[in-house]
Amino acid sequence: MSMGDKSGFFANWQTLDAEKYLILEYYFETTSPPDEAAAHLCQEQSTAQWKRVGVDEDLRERFGAKVIDLVVEKTFDKPNYPTLATNQTQSYGCRVRIAHPHENFGPKIPNMLTAVAGEGAFHSPGISVIKLLDIEFPESFLQHFEGPKFGVEGLRDRLQVYDRPLFFGVIKPNIGLPPKPFAELAFQGWLGGLDIAKDDEMLGDVCWSPLRERAELLGKARLKAEEITGEKKIYLANITDEVDRLLELHDIAVERGANALMVNGMTTGLSAIRMLRKHTQVPLVAHFDFIAPFTLIPDFGIHSPLVTKLQRIVGFDAIIYPGFGARMKTPDIEVLQSAQACLNPLGQIKPSLPVPAGSQWAGTTGDLYKKLGTVDFGIVPGRAVFEHPMGPRGGAASLRQGWEAVEKGVSLEAYAAEHPELKAAIEMIS
Amino acid sequence: MSMGDKSGFFANWQTLDAEKYLILEYYFETTSPPDEAAAHLCQEQSTAQWKRVGVDEDLRERFGAKVIDLVVEKTFDKPNYPTLATNQTQSYGCRVRIAHPHENFGPKIPNMLTAVAGEGAFHSPGISVIKLLDIEFPESFLQHFEGPKFGVEGLRDRLQVYDRPLFFGVIKPNIGLPPKPFAELAFQGWLGGLDIAKDDEMLGDVCWSPLRERAELLGKARLKAEEITGEKKIYLANITDEVDRLLELHDIAVERGANALMVNGMTTGLSAIRMLRKHTQVPLVAHFDFIAPFTLIPDFGIHSPLVTKLQRIVGFDAIIYPGFGARMKTPDIEVLQSAQACLNPLGQIKPSLPVPAGSQWAGTTGDLYKKLGTVDFGIVPGRAVFEHPMGPRGGAASLRQGWEAVEKGVSLEAYAAEHPELKAAIEMIS
């Protein structure tokens, strides 16, 4: 790459019109000179060939992605990921900020993903590993996105719960039960204190548990539980399915009493969620299937808090994502950044409720509260509620008791002395 | 995990009804005993809790995923990917085959992806890294999928070309030109010998090149090129967009003369392609954006030939995917396996045309032919056609000449002596 070729892909951010660009932040490793690798990265993701043969033109000024900051953070004796490098010499670990003109694709999720995480980014000459860390959106771009219809406030309004975390429970056995006993489990969970009883991410509209019948029975059980407890309750139905069935399943479930809907958004594509958001009458909840394959590897793929941010932008009111603990393989800082991606100001887009998941039980709510520094989150245990030795009613009660202990500033063990459900939960875990 | 807990997730394949199961093949690494890790993997991706509290039942027989083969292939002193392992002891690299009852989710892409590449697979206890290598589908499952509407044969019929590879060309400059000069470039490419002039994957329906106007001009240019050359030609328009616009953009483009359509299928979600397949009047072509982030890492994510197979199943008639050469970061064996995933028998599903991409030019067609062992493939150069010193007409001519040399068994250099376009192409590369 010649100096002239390279310099067209560099710019001073101060001289650019901020409203016209997304700012993309990447980490990458290269065995090439870092500035050349960064210029290639811009070229490959925007105007790869910027002039016609025999025509005196340069399309880079308007359409070229441009390096606005480049820092070499690390130097390696040889590439970190040898199979992805084209040679095995000294390698640089770099952080780059790129201003990408969003008129190249417009406010569209699939086209944006093509530019920021497509062939251009992942097959750029000289770059071995690359991770897309963040995207900053100007108002001019963000204004085209609807974001959550209800958000944290709308979700809380529906439950009339404002001063504590929300208690989700994943109804288990998650797979295999017909709707009737399944509804009975949810009913017991609501009686015990769940705010939201939910279908597992694996339970869709299947022949042995048709969504129509399940929503009917759980809708009725919910109303009964509301009557008995005097509390508002939510049945969160999983409508994950082929995208041309999402609106139909929305209607089937909502008409029968599901009052929130879950979709495994990466398996349908985030664009389908944006479509559903325009139609939905109830809050939408994200589950994180098919995200780990491109987020878990350090320094490669896409940074998980950015995926959370995108899920908020397309319209999820609550986002279940990998939380704290070794099984979820997600560094604590990423779990926190995802909570921030849900809650931090983002143009006109409402906040989403963060729901860090994985091996939750009565004892984890206090920890989460301390780590997140807010009550605006959900916890989403499965077996801790539905395999509780006193049954789902006892399991759900233990969750509420675990939080009461936090509220009263009492140790879990002390509070358990007078609360047998909590006591049994502690014994079950240890 | 107790012996009894574990054994319920193992089975002898001979005793199972083959039509009821998908066979999933994974590579995984674990610091736990391999059989325990494999049992957890089955449990987490199917019926995580297989009985209710206080009820004597076992949902595993019908609904449990089951290990049918497990081989420890490697032993490591410590985990290969330390940040993903829960402890740093001796680690096993295992290959497992799992029979997963497909009635757990039904013949639906998003629900299948949830089961095979969701939380259950990527956050299974004790497993550090995992790669989904393959899925084998029984007829009972496959029969619900439409597959390519035209396939290789239908694509060839449209071009009336049967005895050689198909020549795609990515119109460049890919981003920034308005429709009129863009159409002129395509026209020159067709005159030179391109079968298919295509939009770049980054070029969608944008304000500075609306698809409506682009399809109109390229549709007309195509007819003119067909008249002049006496050959059939294809304009492959990129309609990648939000999923609720795909059918509308199909109609806009096809009515105006686009006679094949490209979608970056992972950015829209594969389910959206299945929807489009039901509607389409023209062949559909896949581009590989957003696939590298979950396929490139050895031993982690999803094996790229499986992604190719899934793209065929949802209905792509041709699949552009990372081909040979260091820049594409894809082992040769994977490139070949993807070609096989396109062409091998697969129930009633038609073959798709494999189009291995990346730095193609006149000289690579012969190599591809030798490596793939068939003329049923496409090549898809960009700059080699549109940055050719003699312009796109010369660039396209050089492609055809490169193939003529192969057909005649003449060396490229010898053939170039009498073909200035090929000569210039060789000089451009070296």
State the virtual CA torsion across B323, B325, B327, B331 in degrees, nearest 10.
70
Shortest alpha-carbon distance between residue A174 and chain B (Å): 6
Predicted pLDDT of residue B80:
84
Q: Nearest by CB to B242, from A53, A109, A200: name it.
A: A109
Q: How far is CA A265 from CA A288, A307, A348, B28, in A?
A: 7, 10, 22, 25
Specify the CATH number for A151-429; select among 3.40.1280.10, 3.90.10.10, 3.40.640.10, 3.20.20.110. Answer: 3.20.20.110
Mutate to test the interface with A, among B123, B247, B383 (most CBs of A within 10 A): B123
The answer to whether B190 and B197 have CB atoms below 8 angstroms apart is: yes
Mutate to test the interface with B, among A9, A132, A172, A175 (most CBs of B within 10 A): A175
Q: How far is CA B123 from CA A291, B240, B304, B389, in A?
A: 11, 32, 21, 53
Q: Do A267 and B268 touch (CB under 8 A)?
A: no
Name the residue ranges covered by the structural domains of chain B.
3-142, 151-429
Q: Nearest by CB to A114, from B202, B205, B300: name it.
A: B202
Rounded distance between C-alpha atoms, residue A44 and residue A104, angstroms = 13
Q: Do A202 and B114 touch (CB under 8 A)?
A: yes
The first and second tokens of residue A238, run together, are 């999983």
The answer to whether B129 and B80 have CB atoms below 8 angstroms apart is: yes
Q: Do A293 and B294 touch (CB under 8 A)?
A: yes
Predicted pLDDT of residue A93:
97
The answer to whether B81 and B26 have CB atoms below 8 angstroms apart is: no
Q: Nearest by CB to A275, from B54, B63, B244: name it.
A: B244
Residue of A nearest to B182 (CA): A52
Residue B78: how many other CB atoms lie within 10 Å: 12
Element (H, E) at B101: strand B91-101
Q: Nearest by CB to B110, from A113, A118, A241: name it.
A: A241
In whole angstroms, how large is the CA radius of gyration of chain A? Answer: 24
Mutate to test the interface with A, among B5, B63, B111, B421 (most CBs of A within 10 A): B111
Amino acid making up residue B141: F
Residue B61: how many other CB atoms lie within 10 Å: 12
Shortest alpha-carbon distance between residue B149 and chain A (Å): 18
Q: Nearest by CB to B173, from A51, A115, A174: name it.
A: A51
The first and second tokens of residue A9, run together, are 């892909």
Burial of A2 (0-12, 13-18, 19+ CB in 10 A): exposed
Predicted pLDDT of residue A87:
83
Element (H, E) at A26: strand A21-30
Q: How far is CA A227 from CA A223, A231, A370, A395, in A?
A: 6, 7, 33, 20
Half-sphere exposure of A378 (CA within 13 A, CB side): 33
Question: pLDDT category, B89, cuts 50, 70, 90?
Answer: confident
Residue of A nearest to B52 (CA): A173
Query: What is the pairing mode between strands A91-101 and A127-136?
Result: unpaired
Half-sphere exposure of A25 (CA within 13 A, CB side): 10
Query: What is the pairing mode between strands A353-357 and A127-136?
Result: unpaired
The first and second tokens of residue B260, run together, are 């094949």
Give, as one character, the DSSP assignment of residue B365. Answer: H
- Where do we find the tokens 């008249």? B227
Q: What is the mean pLDDT of chain B?
A: 97
Q: Do B113 and A267 touch (CB under 8 A)?
A: yes
Residues in chain B within 8 Å Cβ distance of A271: 242-244, 267-269, 272
- Where do we find the tokens 């008639």? B317
Q: Per residue in A132-143, pLDDT tens?
A: 999 999 999 999
Predicted pLDDT of residue A250:
98
Angle at which helix A109-117 crosses helix A270-279, to 10 degrees, equals 160
Rounded distance between C-alpha atoms, residue B190 and residue B184, angstroms = 10
Predicted pLDDT of residue A408:
97
Element (H, E) at A122: helix A119-122
Angle at which helix B246-255 crosses helix B270-279, to 10 degrees, equals 40
Across the A/B interface, how many CB contacts are shorter than 8 Å? 312
Half-sphere exposure of B225 (CA within 13 A, CB side): 28
Predicted pLDDT of residue B5:
85
In whole angstroms, how large is the CA radius of gyration of chain B? Answer: 24
Q: Give me the mean pLDDT over the B131-152 stretch.
A: 98
Q: Per residue in B187-216, pLDDT tens?
A: 999 999 999 999 999 999 999 999 999 999
Q: Give me the mean pLDDT over the B261-268 stretch.
A: 98
Q: Nearest by CB to A322, from B47, B123, B298: name it.
A: B123
Angle at which helix A391-408 crosses helix A420-429, to 10 degrees, equals 100
The answer to whether A337 and A371 have CB atoms below 8 angstroms apart is: no
Q: Per residue in B243-253, pLDDT tens?
A: 999 999 999 99
Q: Nearest by CB to B109, from A122, A242, A275: name it.
A: A242
Give me the CATH topology for the region A3-142: Alpha-Beta Plaits (3.30.70)
Rounded distance between C-alpha atoms, residue B15 and residue B13, angstroms = 5
Q: Per residue in B33-86, pLDDT tens?
A: 999 999 999 999 999 999 999 999 999 999 999 999 999 999 999 888 888 888
Q: Do A111 and B200 touch (CB under 8 A)?
A: no
The first and second tokens of residue B44, run together, are 């987490």
Beta bridge partners of A94: A28, A72
Residue B53: how many other CB atoms lie within 10 Å: 17
Q: Do B181 and A300 touch (CB under 8 A)?
A: no
Mutate to test the interface with B, among A5, A20, A46, A49 (most CBs of B within 10 A): A49
Q: Nearest by CB to A274, from B114, B242, B278: name it.
A: B242
- Angle at the Cα of B249 from the Cα atoms of B244 and B254, rounded to 5 degrees: 145
The first and second tokens of residue A256, run together, are 């029968």
Shortest alpha-carbon distance between residue B171 and chain A (Å): 10
Q: Where are the alpha helices (DSSP H) in A127-210?
A: 139-142, 151-159, 179-192
Q: Do A174 and B45 touch (CB under 8 A)?
A: no
Residues in chain B within 8 Å Cβ distance of A50: 173, 176
C-alpha of A414 from chain center:
36
Rounded distance between C-alpha atoms, residue B24 and residue B130, angstroms = 12
Q: Where are the alpha helices (DSSP H) in B161-210?
A: 179-192
Residues in chain B within 8 Å Cβ distance of A293: 117, 122, 293-294, 300-302
Give, as one character, the DSSP assignment of residue A197. Answer: E
Predicted pLDDT of residue B157:
98
Half-sphere exposure of B131 (CA within 13 A, CB side): 21
Mutate to test the interface with B, among A51, A289, A333 (most CBs of B within 10 A): A289
Q: What are phi and psi of A212, to 5 degrees?
A: -55, -50
Predicted pLDDT of residue B374:
97
Rounded distance between C-alpha atoms, residue A297 and residue B82, angstroms = 11
Q: Do A106 and B206 touch (CB under 8 A)?
A: yes
Rounded distance between C-alpha atoms, residue B113 and residue B100, angstroms = 12
Shortest alpha-carbon distance between residue A270 and chain B (Å): 7
Residues in chain B within 8 Å Cβ distance of A384: none
Shortest alpha-carbon distance between residue B145 and chain A (Å): 12
Element (H, E) at A379: strand A378-379
Residues in chain A within 8 Å Cβ distance of B105: 202, 204, 206
Residues in chain B within 8 Å Cβ distance of A204: 105-106, 108, 111, 114
Q: Do B387 and A53 touch (CB under 8 A)?
A: yes
| CB contact set of A380 (below 8 Å; sequence gap of 6+) | A168, A169, A170, A198, A320, A355, A357, A360
Q: Do B105 and A45 touch (CB under 8 A)?
A: no
Sign, Cα dihedral of B341, B345, B346, B349: positive
Residue of B nearest to A181 (CA): B52
Lowest mean pLDDT across A323-332, B232-241, B403-412: A323-332
> Which segments of B292-357 are extended strands (E)?
301-302, 318-322, 353-357
Residues in chain A within 8 Å Cβ distance of B389: 53
Shortest alpha-carbon distance between residue A271 and chain B (Å): 5
pTM: 0.98
Rounded distance between C-alpha atoms, residue A422 and residue B3, angstroms = 29
Beta bridge partners of B127: B30
Predicted pLDDT of residue B79:
87
Predicted pLDDT of residue B83:
83
Residue A138: how many other CB atoms lie within 10 Å: 16
Predicted pLDDT of residue B363:
95
Residues in chain A within 8 Å Cβ distance of B172: 48-49
Its ipTM equals 0.97
Q: Do B123 and A358 touch (CB under 8 A)?
A: yes
Give, as one character, the DSSP assignment of residue B13. Answer: G
Q: How far is CA B48 from CA A87, A202, B34, B96, B121, in A?
A: 45, 10, 18, 19, 12
Residue of A nearest to B274 (CA): A242
Predicted pLDDT of residue B23:
98
C-alpha of B283 from chain center:
15
Q: Do B388 and A53 touch (CB under 8 A)?
A: yes
Predicted pLDDT of residue B71:
98
Shortest alpha-carbon distance between residue B297 and chain A (Å): 8
Instruction: Tell me if residue B15 falls in helix, strand or coil.
Output: helix
The answer to whether A341 and A306 have CB atoms below 8 angstroms apart is: yes
Mutate to test the interface with A, among B58, B83, B122 (most CBs of A within 10 A): B122
Rounded distance between C-alpha atoms, residue B407 and residue B403, angstroms = 6
Q: Nearest by CB to B110, from A83, A114, A268: name it.
A: A268
Query: DSSP string of A232-250?
Result: --EEEEE----GGGHHHHH
Residues in chain A within 8 Å Cβ distance of B111: 202, 204, 240-241, 267
Asked if pLDDT for residue B227 goes beyond 90, the answer is: yes
User: Which ranges of chain A have pLDDT less than 70?
Assistant: none
End-to-end CA distance of chain B: 61
